[in-house]
Amino acid sequence: MNYIRLFVITLLVSIFGQPLQANTTPLTTENLKIATALLQESDFSRGNVSGIIWDIDIETQSKGKIQKNSLRVLVKGTNSLAIYQSPSKVKGRKLLMKNRNMWFIKPGLSKPVPISPRQKLLGGASNGDIASTNYAGDYTIESFTEDIFQNEPCYIYELKAKNKKVTYDKIRYWVSQDRKIGLKAAFFTKSGKMFKTAFFEYDHTITLNGKDRLFVSKMTIVNTMVKTDKTIMAYNNINIKEISPSSFNLNLLVR
Amino acid sequence: MKTRLAFSIIISGMLFLFFGMDLCLNLPVAFADNVDEQQAFEDTNAQETESVFPNIGFMEKLEQGFELNLKATALGTITGIATSNKNPGNRFAQIPDKGIILTLKPDMSLVYDDWLFSAKPRLELEQNQWTIDGNSHNSSDQKAQIIEFKIRRLLFDNLFASYGCENLQWGPSFLYSPSNPFFNDNGKKNLVEDLKGKGFFKLVFVHDFSWSTSLIYNSDKGAFNESDFKKVLALKIDYSGDESYASLILSHKDNKETRLGLFGGTTLNDAVIIYAEANLQQGSQALFPVALQNPLAWQLDAIKKDDHSLYTTLITGMGYTFESGNTLTLEYLYYGQGYDSKEASNYRLLKNTAASFYSSGTALAGYGGKVLGDAASNGLDFLRQNYLMVQYLNEDILEEIIDGIDLVSRLTYCLDDKSSRLYSSLSYDMNDHTQLMLSGMMNTGGVDASFGTFLYYQVQVALEYSF
């Protein structure tokens, strides 16, 4: 009987106590350097390069309805420009983001309209989700912990926004130790409530600094409150190149 | 005949381009205007990441650089004309009370190396009905015109030169754009009708991601029908940072005023943006009522054109986005040139006197008509000085019942004479190609107030099909 009790306790602890068992690495200067370097590496695989142009197909599933948008997106640092490609009724619309300074341009309306970051123009995705990821630059590592995610050894990062300019205040981020890519992210409100999680797939490869590197192909965002609400962002036609500042200049964007 | 010929040529050209070149499916190479192929600094070698900018031939460049957005719209309008002695029997203003416009809108652009060409031809069929002194009249018209076009070239390192017929718009305000010396409306005439452009030479130098300078010369009236057109030269300096933006516009109109325009704004947090837009000018070209010591009694005159006083126009605004995505916008406008109480009272007397002359059937009728004409185009964008605007954008207002219905409601209120304009528009996405729109506008305050001199209400319905 005691053996059975011991077995059940061990089983329960192994199931529910996994985070407690996880190996939290102390944040020494050396460890922080290593953690930051790995985070930077994972950022490269999610577009944080000197300039990138990609096509993003966004599918939003909400309340049993499906909405699809296709965008061509140019990103350079904190600047990004999304140009709507489809459906036909929105073709030619543009969303210009200079970090939190955002403008919406609609064909037929010569005047660009300033918008707040909260305005939803991309279905279930936040405006900031279409930009490249610079977690290493925008967030402070509060802790990182060894873990296993989908049978893959990884580190869980607890990230805190360095300032209010970024899309999310707090992120829990799973990064593969071997492949150096982000696998999963949980996003939290300021009050500490998790409101969405994202899963990443890497079916693309790019060459960066002479090395082949996995590159993000899909991001699936799930609403934590309403699990059936989901946004899938598929990345295609990835083209890494220098983009000039004039691509993000409002005077030149309205045709 | 000429119009028909132009109509046929444009339609044939459009059909050829549309069906002959497999256009819409290809994204233009330099949709970004200036992505520099030569500056590519990294190779991408995976099958999924093949370059979209290979060394391609002339025809391929044309095909990839060409973009066509084709729309067809139908707009129906019903207007309630204000009954007043300023427009007796609608004889004076001759405003249609019903109308329908069918428009084909092939917006096209071509990016070829450092060049950009764009054009917005409009093919219109219009039918109107209006009532003058109780008698109905009908008219129909067909027009083929290019409302905007542009040719632009990248000269060197982020310096762009262009000439075009454009409707240049900028600034954050919805109600009015005082910093813009060329156009001060919001770039849209009604639900689907686009505004025409004027002729501009422009030089735009983009210093970096934050700063740019533009030299803009308004050389001709373009598609506008302005009898008193004057050339304008403007210098515009723009800053656009991570959270804030600001611009300064210095302009001079030929033989007229020099103006300083400004606008700026910032994102306070995820949900709140604030902004302001202003204009400072010496003197005013607007017409003001002047009492005469003769039987004509009144006239309108630009009595402040040589005035050394500075006139300010200022808009401050704030936008708040709710968790649902709905957005509330508030704007306050101070319009320094607008009539004060005494001038407004004189203006009312002037119009009443002119209206009585106009209806008198005497030798003064002509003079009355002229004064009413001057009063209707007195050079003021707003009659009085203080206005408030509240706008609410309600997205997916009936999402539980029917998807894709957005509602915009706007109230513009004159704090000086308590008159107002109520406007609401509803748009419904019928499918990925078709949008149905409905709008209603109503003026309150009477014919002598800021709004409603000529119109009581207007209802419009529009259908837009995107190919």
**For chain B, what is the largest distance between any 2 Cα atoms, rounded to a whole number of angstroms?**
87
- In angstroms, the CA B246 to CA A28 distance is 43
> What's the mean per-residue pLDDT of chain A?
84
B266: confidence class by pLDDT, cuts 50, 70, 90: very high
- In angstroms, the CA A232 to CA A221 distance is 6
Res B73: pLDDT: 96
- Please say if the pLDDT value at position B65 is more than 70: yes
Looking at the complex, report in whole angstroms how far the Cα of residue A247 sits from the nearest Cα belonging to chain B: 5
Q: CA dist B264 to A100, A107, A112, B246, Å?
A: 15, 23, 14, 4
Q: Residues of chain A with pLDDT > 70: what percent?
A: 87
Residue B150, Cβ density class (10 Å: 0-12 exposed, 13-18 middle, ≥19 buried): buried
pLDDT in tens, A213-224: 899 999 999 988
What are the structure tokens assigned to A64, written together?
């049993």
Backbone angles phi, psi at A87, to 5 degrees: -70, 175
Residues of B in contact with A114 (CB under 8 A): 172, 245, 265, 273, 275, 319
Res B39: pLDDT: 36
Res A27: pLDDT: 66
- In angstroms, the CA A14 to CA A133 distance is 34
Residue of A231, A235, A185, A178 whose CA lies nearest to A206: A235
Looking at the complex, report in whole angstroms how far the Cα of residue B218 sits from the nearest Cα belonging to chain A: 16
Torsion of CA A119, A194, A169, B320, to 10 degrees: 30
Residue of B219, B240, B244 whose CA lies nearest to B229: B219
**Single-letter amino acid, residue B88:** P
Average pLDDT over residues B428-450: 91
Q: Is A244 in Cβ contact with B34 (below 8 Å)?
A: yes
Interface of B with A in 80-119 (CB under 8 A): 105, 107, 109, 116, 118
Among chain A residues, CA nearest to B212? A249
Lowest mean pLDDT among A65-69, B97-101, B170-174, B223-227: B223-227
B7: confidence class by pLDDT, cuts 50, 70, 90: very low
Output b/e per residue, B427-460; b: 16+ Cβ within 10 A.
Answer: bbbeeeeebebbbbbbbbbebbbbbbbbbbbbeb
Residues of A in contact with B429 (CB under 8 A): 89
Q: CA dist B333 to A128, B190, B219, B246, Å?
A: 33, 22, 30, 19
Residue with tokens 């409601």: B409
pLDDT in tens, A85-125: 988 888 889 999 988 889 999 887 778 999 988 887 776 67
Of residues A79, A110, A240, nearest to B169 (C-beta): A110
Q: Assess whether the previous peptide bond of A87 is cis (omega < 30° from 0).
A: yes
- In angstroms, the CA B309 to CA B290 distance is 19
- Please say if the pLDDT value at position A167 is more than 80: no
B45 part of contact set with chain A, CB < 8 Å: yes
- Please say if the pLDDT value at position A18 is more than 80: no
What Rg, from alpha-carbon coordinates, does chain B have? 25
Residues of B in contact with A214 (CB under 8 A): none
- In angstroms, the CA A168 to CA B207 distance is 31
Average pLDDT over residues B214-228: 87
- Model ipTM? 0.81
Res B400: pLDDT: 65
Average pLDDT over residues B240-254: 92
Residues of A in contact with B189 (CB under 8 A): none
Res B463: pLDDT: 96
A17: confidence class by pLDDT, cuts 50, 70, 90: very low
B177 part of contact set with chain A, CB < 8 Å: yes
Average pLDDT over residues B47-55: 42
B404: confidence class by pLDDT, cuts 50, 70, 90: confident
Looking at the complex, report in whole angstroms how far the Cα of residue A131 sits from the nearest Cα belonging to chain B: 14
Res A163: pLDDT: 79
Res B11: pLDDT: 43
Average pLDDT over residues B416-430: 93
Beta strands in B322-419 (DSSP E): 327-335, 386-394, 405-414
Beta strands in chain A (DSSP E): 24-25, 52-62, 65-76, 79-86, 94-98, 101-106, 109-115, 139-149, 152-161, 170-176, 182-188, 194-201, 204-208, 211-215, 218-223, 230-240
